[in-house]
Amino acid sequence: MDFQNLPPLLAGALAEHGYTAPTPVQAAVLEAETEGRDMIVSAQTGSGKTVAFGLAMAAQLIEGDRLPAPQKPLALIIAPTRELALQVSRELVWLYKDAGARIATCVGGMDASRERRALSHGTHIVVGTPGRLRDHLERGALDLSALRVAVLDEADEMLDMGFREDLEEILDATPSERRTLMFSATMPKPIVALAKRYQRDALRISTVGENRGHGDIAYQCVLVAPSDIEHAVINLLRLHEAETAMLFCATRDNVRHLHASLLERGFAAVALSGEHSQNERNAALQALRDRRARVCVATDVAARGIDLPSLSLVVHVELPRDAEALQHRSGRTGRAGKKGTAVLIVPYPRRRRVEGVLKGANINAEWMTAPTPDDIRAKDRERLLTALLEPIELDDDDRALGATLLAQKSPEDIAAMLVRQHRASLPQPEELIDATPEAQRAAQQDRHRPGFDDVVWFRMDIGRRQNADPRWILPLLCRRGHITKGEIGAIRIAPTETFFQVPRAIAAKFAAAVVRTGSAHDDGANVLIEQSDRGPEPAMRGAPAGRRPNGPPRGKPVAHRAGPRPR
């Protein structure tokens, strides 16, 4: 299928922007059976759905070869976020430019009085967010009585964000004979209910199966130790050196922390989260577009609707909640036929959960370890050689300065100095812990501090349910056992008891001190401390403090309880 059956003005705009054939969703909405009908369309982010509904509503807007004189809005597009609404508006501007369309954008954080003036001067298409559109409607600035077509973009996301009442009030103000197009990546029950109320005999279209997983995106899963997530981010950014990269975190606090950490290491980075004002968001996006920044750290909602043509790398620093969130995040790259890479940083204990998410999204990902400093240095050498050997034009001043340098230094020294200067401008890669399962098992077996090769396990009769915590357990053991914290080995906290190690050479001295202090007036004198013949279960020994055990056995008592437990 091609664009030959479209109005010439739209076909010309598509050709000018390099469109030669429709994407699956664009082809689906242009089929003969869709003409004039309401539609519910399931399509993934980056599938070309903005152009799709722009083409689908053309029949309701264009009269002859142009749009009528601008008066009351003929088309309304509602989007969940400012960024998405602005992106939709930009797309429709070029698509309908030759048709003489006047488009008004109404979003929160912008000058509302200017928007009202634009609406009062007449418009063909209004694009906006639910809250701002409802505000204009209630103030009488937005008159939808002549509306011919309404489009709900990312309808599922709008309902998730609590915009149901806004949507209902807006749609109730439109003519009942309008055409309604609903675009939603998923079809939960609230979407079905909304469609039933506001659509008539809607045609159901789904291109999710055809486009699932984004064919232009290469997915990678990088296994890391839980403590190495941030270091893995650094090394991935250094390995790829992407023109633009986006890093996804789950909370605004984590965005703030990672952004500060990247700036400290020398990365040109910006942040996007719910705590940033619209002016700050606009400045951050502009910095990415004009290449003053190359890395964006963002939350899921803050990144909605962002369209950065140069974005080639998406890193899921914190794992997405489900397959749909993975698709939406990753869909920021691999758009308009360009290739992209989406990397999930997977702490090794969560590998099974990630495999389930990937299966649900029908994504085949390549599993690998994080890039090492040697990998990054090798890549740096390749990039540097490519950059220095590219043909460039030199003027007389360049040659004169080169001659001056050659008179004072050898060619080898000048080349080495150039390489050193280039490397000095790059953030340093990080050393990482080997996160393969074999390495983790070996690390647990080999994790012995000097003096702790031969130990005795003791237990306490308090655990997580009694608020046991190493921060107060250590001082308690030092007071009761007359030892230093350096003489206490591994601590394993269970729901109702805690196990800890003492070197065998001082175990008798420790046990005797515990008996003597059991009746002392001390905050921890009431805690039962006893030697354990076998210690914690093997499954618990390699676990960090606080990991749940499977009922370790009790040993012979060293001291007895006197009084209540500490809290």
| Residue pLDDT, tens place only, 526-556 | 788 999 876 776 544 444 444 333 333 333 3
Distance CA 35, CA 529 (A): 79
Give the other-Cβ count within 10 Å of 238's Cβ.
22
Over residues 210-234, the pLDDT tens digits come to 444 455 789 999 998 888 899 999 9
Dihedral over Cα of 86, 90, 96, 97: its sign = positive
Distance CA 327, CA 345 (A): 15
> Which domains does the chain show, CATH number per domain?
8-211 (3.40.50.300), 217-372 (3.40.50.300), 448-541 (3.30.70.330)
Least Cα distance to 60 among 183, 148, 147, 152 occurs for 148
Give me 562's structure tokens: 């006197």
What pLDDT score does 449 carry?
Answer: 62
Q: In residues, how long is the chain?
A: 567
Phi, psi of 80 (to 5 degrees): -75, -30
* pLDDT band at residue 88 using 50, 70 and 90 as cut-offs: very high
Least Cα distance to 340 among 219, 217, 245, 238 occurs for 217
Most distant CA atoms of the chain, gap in Å: 100
- Dihedral angle, C-alpha 50, 52, 54, 56, nearest 10 °: -150
Q: Is the pLDDT of residue 240 over 90?
A: yes
The overall average pLDDT reported for the chain is 83
What pLDDT score does 45 carry?
Answer: 62
Residues facing 501 on adjacent strands: 457
Q: Is the pLDDT of residue 201 over 90?
A: no
Q: Is the pLDDT of residue 565 over 50?
A: no
For 53, 417, 453, the CA distances from 396, given in Å and listed in that order, are 55, 22, 71
Q: Is the pLDDT of residue 377 over 80?
A: yes
- Dihedral angle, C-alpha 301, 230, 331, 166, nearest 10 °: 0
For 315, 345, 544, the CA distances from 219, given in Å and listed in that order, are 10, 11, 31
Distance CA 464, CA 21 (A): 62
Q: Report pTM.
A: 0.55
The vertex-463 CA angle with 461 and 464, nearest 5°, equals 165
* pLDDT band at residue 557 using 50, 70 and 90 as cut-offs: very low
Stronger pLDDT, 56 or 454, i.e. the higher one? 56
Stronger pLDDT, 164 or 20, i.e. the higher one? 164
* pLDDT band at residue 161 using 50, 70 and 90 as cut-offs: confident
What pLDDT score does 336 carry?
Answer: 58
| DSSP tag of 2 | -
Over residues 94-113, the pLDDT tens digits come to 999 888 899 999 998 788 99
Report the DSSP pairing between strands 295-298 and 529-531.
unpaired
Q: What is the DSSP string of 428-485?
A: PP------SHHHHHHHHHH---TT-SSEEEEEES--GGGT--HHHHHHHHHHHHT--G
The angle, 0 to 180 degrees and rounded to 10, between the axes of the packed helices 130-138 and 112-120 is 60
Compute the average pLDDT of residues 146-168.
89
Distance CA 353, CA 351 (A): 5
Compute the average pLDDT of residues 251-267.
91
Residues of the chain with pLDDT > 90: what percent?
A: 34
Residues facing 557 on adjacent strands: 530
E-only strand ranges, 20-170: 39-42, 75-78, 103-106, 125-128, 149-153
Instruction: Sheet with 103-106: list strands edge to edge.
Output: 103-106, 125-128, 75-78, 149-153, 179-183, 39-42, 203-206
What pLDDT score does 122 carry?
Answer: 94
Over residues 382-432, the pLDDT tens digits come to 988 888 787 878 788 888 998 998 899 888 888 888 888 877 778 888 887
What pLDDT score does 435 carry?
Answer: 62
Compute the average pLDDT of residues 125-142.
94
Compute the average pLDDT of residues 503-509.
90
Distance CA 324, CA 222 (A): 20
Residues 6+ apart with CB under 8 A from 271: 255, 256, 259, 284, 296, 297, 298
Distance CA 223, CA 343 (A): 10
